[in-house]
Structure 1
Amino acid sequence: MELDRAHARRRRFMFAFWLLAFGSAAISNTLTLRIDAERHGIAASAWEIATNEFTSMVVSLAMLPFLLRACDRWPLHAETWRRRLPFYVAGSIAWCIGHIAGMDLLRLAIFSATGIGYDPGPLWLQVVYEYLKDVRTFFIVVALWHMVAWVGRQVKGEAHLLVAPDDAPAVEPVDRPDRFLVRKLGRDFLVATADIEWAQASGNYVNLRVRGRDYPLRSTLAALEARLDPAVFVRAHRSYIVQLSQVTSIEPVDSGDARLHMADGTVLPCSRRYRESLRAAAAGAEPVRARAGSGG
């Protein structure tokens, strides 16, 4: 889906950014440490310094995709940061341990191949020294990821359920909202619930598909399903809710699951758990154009 592709693009952008950042830092550190060694008369060849710096860079880049995926899966926001912050602190410790183990193994292999011994010194001192550096790197990556994600949501728009005002009776039943509030670039827009073609679970958000665009709603799919009209919106998969009138055909597959062909040409998955209930709902809904394919 569009938002999944946006997440993938964001991860690629972040990886490219950190490749440039880590690479330039490794080059800069190699040059400055070489200059310092010359100034202070320390016996350290350029290749030894470069090996130390670039093994650190390689291991950090190898672990980076896992951290970016963790940020995607468990983002920090106002409702979750207290619960998830300890997870990120533990993650920073795991990052440091992986960093030390990886670069020590690489350095040991490289130095041994050249006949030079490698001694990282006392382990406890190395752990303290590296963690003081790694914890900064770890949380800078996390902070930048969240900043880029926040900017992306402001540009794309983020949906919110409309709630009843405190000082007046509700114009509509709160349990069946007719509209969603979409905030985009500081402006508020109303999106009619009837315009939602389908909804897809994505981490802590549900992506509302409206006229070819995805709007992230901070909610679980189950919570959203409970507030939508079951005569109009039906669960098709553990990650999808579809509007029946947007389904043009149901195509069975050999596994017992099915593919839903939507009015805009998109194909969505339908698991066997929900297939029969969706077909039954489609058969009883007058405006629905869904029809079961052969063999189902």
Structure 2
Amino acid sequence: MSGGQRKLAAVLLAGFLFIWGVVTIGNAESTISDLAAAGVRETRTHVWIWELSSVVAWLSIMPLIWWCVARVRPPRMGWSVVAFIFLLGLPVASAWHVALMIVLRHLAYGAMGEGYHFVGSIAHPYLYELRKDAATYLQFTGLAALAQWLLAHGDLLPKSESNPTATPLDRPTLTIVDGTTRHLLPIGTIDHICAAGNYVEIHMEGRVLLHRATLTGVETELGDAFARIHRSRLVRRDAIRSVQTDRSGDFAVSLVDGTVLSGSRRYRDQLTRSE
């Protein structure tokens, strides 16, 4: 990500954690008050263990939700398919949340020399948790989609390092359409490009943008700055750090960002200029 995107990501993460912290405190204190009003004897420590174990369990799921939102989306898939996949993800996320939450509570109670019983007085505890988890799951999915949209529209075109006053249009760019968004990408920021059906995936600065085009068409537009290393893969020559060839003639291309891409011996000669 560019500097502006990193700052935006830090602000979004800080805001998310702050709001979630406030909500967690409010939930814990409300539970303590409700139990006291109902005449139920329960310690503050237990209530906070319940809340914090739930928070940790949800935090462990967030990376997977983020990854799914980034890849399971239009136009790569239809809206109905996306909705169906995320609907299937709800019971999976809830099951993981409940299972890890129970494990953490058993560990916390055990450390205090006590025993924890998840069922309690609730008739259908798992169904009860699923209903609660549905709202949280939808909120997290929506927040991930919103954050990724903001990051995709924030500071996408960094200024030239050699000329800080230069505008993005002063450099060669590739115009792509990702969903409803049109981007002008400086060619020097693109690391590699992969075919994906009727689309191509453009990998740049740790991000992936989807563009409706053929790999051959993009290759023609980019010119000699990129080399085809596979029938479904292009790589920017200046991004190559090393090339290792095996006995079969196939090879592996290591990029400066640590990415390793496989290449076919059919396209080996196209890398001559980059070695």
TM-score, normalised by the number of residues in structure 1: 0.63
Q: CA deviation at 1:157?
A: 6.0
Q: Deviations over 1:119-175 (max 9, x none)?
A: 3227871122111111111111111111122223333569xxxxxxxxxxxxxxxxx
Confirm or deny: 8 A CA contact 1:201 1:239 kept in the other structure.
yes
Gaps of at least 5 residues in structure 1 are 159-178, 284-289
Q: Deviations over 1:36-94 (max 9, x none)?
A: 23333321111111111111111111222222122223235585221122111111111
Q: CA deviation at 1:98?
A: 1.0
Confirm or deny: 8 A CA contact 2:200 2:215 kept in the other structure.
no
CA distance in 2, matches of 1:154, 1:77: 17
Q: CA deviation at 1:11?
A: 7.5
Over 3 Å counting, the alpha-carbon distance change for 1:8 and 1:238 in structure 2 is farther
Equivalent residue, structure 1, for 2:262: 271
Query: Which amino acid is 2:251 matched to?
Result: D
State the percentage of identical aligned residues: 17
CA distance in 1, matches of 2:129, 2:154: 38
TM-score, normalised by the number of residues in structure 2: 0.67
Q: Which aligned pairs between 1:124-163 and structure 2 lie closer than 5 A? A: 125-155=124-154
Confirm or deny: 8 A CA contact 2:195 2:214 kept in the other structure.
no
Gaps of at least 5 residues in structure 2 are 158-172
> Aligned pair 1:257/2:251, yes or no?
yes
Report the number of matched residues: 250
Which of 228, 236, 252 is the matching residue for 1:235? 228
Equivalent residue, structure 1, for 2:211: 218
Which of 196, 202, 206 is the matching residue for 2:201? 206
Q: Which aligned pairs between 1:285-296 and structure 2 lie closer than 5 A? A: 290=273, 293=275
Q: Which aligned pairs between 1:39-188 and structure 2 lie closer than 5 A? A: 39-76=37-74, 79-121=77-119, 125-155=124-154, 181=175
Q: Which aligned pairs between 1:185-200 and structure 2 lie closer than 5 A? A: 199-200=192-193
What's the secondary structure of 1:200's corresponding residue? strand
CA distance in 2, matches of 1:248, 1:49: 52
Structure number with greater Rg is 1
What RMSD, in angstroms, separates the aligned Cα atoms of the two structures? 4.6
